[in-house]
Amino acid sequence: MAEVVVFHHVRGLTPGVVALADELRAAGHRVHTPDLFEGRTFGSIGEGTAHVQEIGPGEVVERGTRAVEGLPAELVYAGFSLGVLPAQSLAQNRPLARGAVLCHACVPASVFGSWPAGIPVQVHGMDADPYFVDEGDVDAARALVAGADDGELFLYPGDRHCYADSSLPSHDPAAAALLTGRVLDLLARC
């Protein structure tokens, strides 16, 4: 059993993020879903992005760091889109991290230092998602997994962002099921 922290995307802690966390729980893992937006959710990526600009991306990372205070150090950090920022930061910098799952986004490892030896990482994204491909996340993902001891990049056919969130119109059930299965495989190793 792994202990996992799941950080939500820019639209907030939606029912779809909670449902995905519940799937991990049903498989026997202990899962935490901190709300980085203090109860707020947004109807669009644009609205959520405006909120992030208001509070600042650095504050999102700080809220993620505060959310894990008091939790065991041996955590797997998972992030969805915006949630990749705190997940990747913590996986790279909090001692005793067990792994990372970065979905729909990735930043260069150098943003947070360097990728630690022995920490497995999965990156998931769609091969034509304009946020993931056109903004350079796929390139950062390729570099990250190439430099990790145990790194995997999974590209799914399609152009949807946040396709793993069953509560959003961008949900892709087949890709989401494949992503969940692959995450469960990683958690079995952590």
Percent with pLDDT over 70 in the chain: 100
Are 96 and 116 in contact, with CB atoms under 8 Å apart? no
DSSP labels for 123-180? EEEETT-IIIIITSHHHHHHHHHHHSTTEEEEEESS--SSTT-TTSTT--HHHHHHHH
Q: Please list, in sequence order, all residues whose beta carbon lies within 8 angstroms of the beta carbon of residue 100, skipping any fewer than 6 positions away.
A: 76, 77, 78, 79, 87, 88, 91, 119, 120, 121, 122
The per-residue pLDDT for 153 is 98
Alpha-carbon Rg for the chain in angstroms: 15
> Which are the contacts of 49, defined by CB distance < 8 A and separation ≥ 6?
10
Tell me: domain 3-189, CATH 3.30.450.30, correct? no
Could you read off the pLDDT of 157-166 as tens digits, one per residue? Answer: 999 999 999 9
Which is nearest to 133 in space by CA: 173, 106, 100, 166? 106
| Mean of per-residue pLDDT scores for the chain | 97
* pLDDT, tens digit, 9 for 90 and up, residues 47-88: 999 999 999 999 999 999 999 999 999 999 999 999 999 999
Element (H, E) at 99: strand 99-103
Spell out the domain ranges in the chain: 3-189
pLDDT grade, residue 20 (50/70/90)?
Answer: very high
Number of H helices and number of E strands within the chain? 6, 6
| Per-residue model confidence (pLDDT) at position 185 | 97
Average pLDDT for 18-35: 98
Q: Which two tokens stand for residue 87?
A: 């997940």
Give the 3-state secondary structure of residue 102: strand
Stated pTM of the model: 0.96
